[in-house]
Amino acid sequence: MDDAGAVPEVDAVITWVNGADPLHRRKLQAFLHETGSGNMAAADPTRFSDCGEIDYCVASLLRFAPWLRTIFIVSDEQTPALIKRLRGTPYEPRVRVVDHREIFFGFEQFLPTFSNRAIECVMWRIPGLADRFLYLNDDFQLIQPVAVEDFFRNDGIVLRGAWRAASDRRWGQRLKSAVARWVPSIAAAAATARPGNHIAQELSARMAGFSDQYFQVPHLPHPMRRSMLARYFADHPEQLANNVRHRLRSTEQFLTTSLASHLELAAGSATIDNRLRTLRLKPSSHSLSTLRRELGAADADANVAFACVQSVDQADEPTQRLIFDWLDRRIGKPMQVFSSCGSGFSRDAPPL
């Protein structure tokens, strides 16, 4: 709540891509051919796959966060099928597609881009975006009702995570770096490896003035303030320009979510509250029995409020069916949610 007791305006931003779209495939293949980047982990097809996860993401926001004003879906000349399904429903005006060209103004030379880190660092430029917003990837879902105060409090944001020592202060990391410098095969593998999340978070922390430690934020919906990012990039335009120029995810890129968190920490406007957690799954890496056990544990734990189901496209059909049946039970079938009035739900709301 703000000082007057009114619920503040809060939007949600989701980044989405359908890698099976022929136009997207042609763009990506042309870029990989031009740059010789085909062997990079950041170009792995699973990074651009779409198995309908965004339907559950949007449905969960509409059902369990009815206080959200607008849900913006950021994409590159693509429109998810759910937009058509929302036509004629009460939710139609609350979900809008934003094209990359709307937020990359001034940086059009770096389009098309295939780097989520480049896209994330300009999403605060969405026209009409509320100052307070949640950012989610399309493979995230809310799995129970949440309140504004779970993300925004006391004119600041709510963070979940823990402090970690910077890598140059950890003996194991220093040894690993030293070995990589002397062993060519290790150095070559590192050059094409998936750019690490922890490294990017540490880089982001240093940009906000934290050199000895960084606040590690796990995978979850990220609360952010547009004004905080706008002020930072107005003072550091070179940082923005350097991040958007990478068209595939790079180790040179910072994470805007982490930068925003550390800017709030530096300003004293962040509250750390780890009561709500994320169930994070990569179904292709686990047996059905393991997945059933993890899903059951999440059902029994009232503090598991978010789910992140990664690379569903790599799982076999029985595994996909298990995951989507569970999402149907926890969130409701998306078409049911889209056609409902959605007047609001209590924290104990049963499935539709």
- Full DSSP string of 46-62: GGG--SSHHHHHHHHHH
Residue 179 predicted with pLDDT over 80: no
Residue 182 predicted with pLDDT over 70: no
Rounded Cα gap, residues 216 and 7, in angstroms: 29
Helix/strand/coil percentages in the chain, nearest 5: 45, 15, 35
| pLDDT attached to residue 19 | 83
Report the pLDDT averaged over residues 106-134. Answer: 97
| pLDDT attached to residue 43 | 52
| pLDDT attached to residue 52 | 85
Contact 41, 194 (CB under 8 A): yes
Q: Model confidence over 296-315: pLDDT tens digits? A: 999 999 999 999 999 888 89
Q: Model confidence over 58-73: pLDDT tens digits? A: 999 999 999 999 999 9
Residue ranges per structural domain of the chain: 10-161+215-339
| pLDDT attached to residue 33 | 85
More confident residue, 341 or 62: 62
| pLDDT attached to residue 16 | 95
Rounded Cα gap, residues 338 and 54, in angstroms: 13
Give the pLDDT band (50/70/90) at residue 349.
Answer: very low
Range among 89-93, 100-104, 177-181 with highest mean pLDDT value: 100-104
Q: Model confidence over 7-58: pLDDT tens digits? A: 679 999 999 999 888 898 899 989 888 887 655 555 555 455 567 899 999 9
Neighbour count for residue 70 (Cβ, 10 Å): 18
| pLDDT attached to residue 186 | 46
| pLDDT attached to residue 197 | 86
Rounded Cα gap, residues 294 and 314, in angstroms: 19
Q: Which segment of 25-29, 83-87, 191-195 scores lowest on mean pLDDT?
A: 191-195
- The percent of residues above 70 in pLDDT, for the chain, comes to 83
Give me the count of residues in the chain: 352
| pLDDT attached to residue 58 | 97
Q: Model confidence over 260-304: pLDDT tens digits? A: 999 999 999 999 999 999 999 999 889 999 999 999 999 999 999
Mean pLDDT of the chain: 88
| pLDDT attached to residue 87 | 94
| pLDDT attached to residue 314 | 87
The kind and range of the H/E element at 339 are helix 334-339
| pLDDT attached to residue 68 | 98
Buried b (16+ CB within 10 A) or exposed e, 254-287: bbbbbbbbbbbbeeeebeeeeebebbbbebeeee
Q: Which CATH architecture has domain 10-161+215-339?
A: Alpha-Beta Complex (3.90)
Angle at 278 between CA 287 and CA 221, to 5 degrees: 130
More confident residue, 40 or 213: 213
